[in-house]
Structure 1
Amino acid sequence: MSTVIEQPVEARLVAAAPRMPSIPATLSYDPHDPFAVRMSFPAPSTLEGVEVCWTFARELLASGLEEEVGHGDVRVRPYGYDRIVLEFHAPEGTAVIHVRVGELRRFLESSTELVPVGLEHLHQNLDHDLAELLRDSC
């Protein structure tokens, strides 16, 4: 049996308007993919009108609590004493959101209880993953 952690978070979309609107978002962690976290946004909160899900390293999220990290599509940095900024870069544009530090810390603590940092490799099934990759190649 697999336990997947899902935690709704309040995200605030940083826009040109003075008031940042809240948008629903969900962080999730699956021990079958132990190095990754996912952040999904429901269809009504996206420009395309479809659910959007970003997958990135759990380590990136944890490190972003303390310092600016990331050079690719996802970047994370502290903002003030109680917020984190997440930037999601795509060809269509960039979304910048704020999330409360407390919500992220609770999520990371839950994921670490499930799979401790440094022991992620014990939760990988490389044979299964390789079979999935090669499944449609013949």
Structure 2
Amino acid sequence: MSPVIEQAVRARVIAAVPRMETVPATLRYDRSDPFTVYMSFPAPATLEGTDVTWEFARELLATGVDGPAGAGDVRVRPFGYGRTALEFHAPEGTAMVHLHTSELRRFLERAEALVPAGHEHLYLDLDHDLTELLRDAR
């Protein structure tokens, strides 16, 4: 089994002046960074006109599909029947997208099969991380 999961999703962008109703996005989970989910948006879907990737906790996503979660830069909550809202807060403003909850659950199931929740610590390479941290301290 590959140590990385990528899943394409269609995100519905909620905006006052819609440029694109739906945008392609990619969810990514890497066993070597077991606490983190990455969500990438292509340049045409962003205000900056560049590819943007957000990082947030897998637990935040898992909690947010069933009830409101998050108080920081990323917030997740159920939205109506079969949808989940993700809010991304940055100094430039807030972006909100809606995703099919079924797609998020499928992604989370695949991540769970790769690294079971509660066992993330077993997949960390603490020796490598400590070496990298101390590499420049000499």
Please, what TM-score do these two structures have when normalized by structure 1?
0.93
Q: Output the CA distance in 1 between the equivalents of 2:90 and 2:124.
A: 29
Q: Which aligned pairs between 1:29-44 and structure 2 lie closer than 5 A? A: 29-44=29-44
Aligned AA for 1:97?
Answer: V
Question: Over residues 28-71 of structure 1, what are the superposed CA-to-partner deviations in whole Å (9 max), with x where a residue is unaligned?
Answer: 00000001100001112111111110000000000001110100
For structure 1, list consecutive stretches of 5 or more residues without a partner in the other structure: none
Q: Which aligned pairs between 1:35-74 and structure 2 lie closer than 5 A? A: 35-74=35-74
Q: Output the CA distance in 1 between the equivalents of 2:26 and 2:132.
A: 26
Q: Residue 18 of structure 1: CA displacement? A: 7.7
C-alpha change, 1:18 and 1:6, in structure 2 (3 Å) is closer
Q: Output the CA distance in 2 between the equivalents of 1:73 and 1:131.
A: 30
For structure 2, list consecutive stretches of 5 or more residues without a partner in the other structure: none
Q: Output the CA distance in 2 between the equivalents of 1:40 and 1:18.
A: 19
Match of 1:115 in 2: 115
Q: Output the CA distance in 2 between the equivalents of 1:42 and 1:19.
A: 14
Aligned residue pairs, count: 138
Match of 1:99 in 2: 99
Q: Which SS does the other structure have where 2:104 is aligned?
A: helix
Q: Output the CA distance in 1 between the equivalents of 2:99 and 2:20.
A: 12
Q: Which SS does the other structure have where 2:76 is aligned?
A: strand
C-alpha change, 1:48 and 1:137, in structure 2 (3 Å) is farther
- Identity among equivalent positions (%) equals 65
Q: Residue 117 of structure 1: CA displacement? A: 0.6
CA contact (8 A) 1:6 1:26 kept: yes
Q: Which SS does the other structure have where 1:67 is aligned?
A: coil
Q: Output the CA distance in 2 between the equivalents of 1:41 and 1:18.
A: 16
CA contact (8 A) 2:31 2:115 kept: yes
Please, what TM-score do these two structures have when normalized by structure 2?
0.93
Match of 1:132 in 2: 132
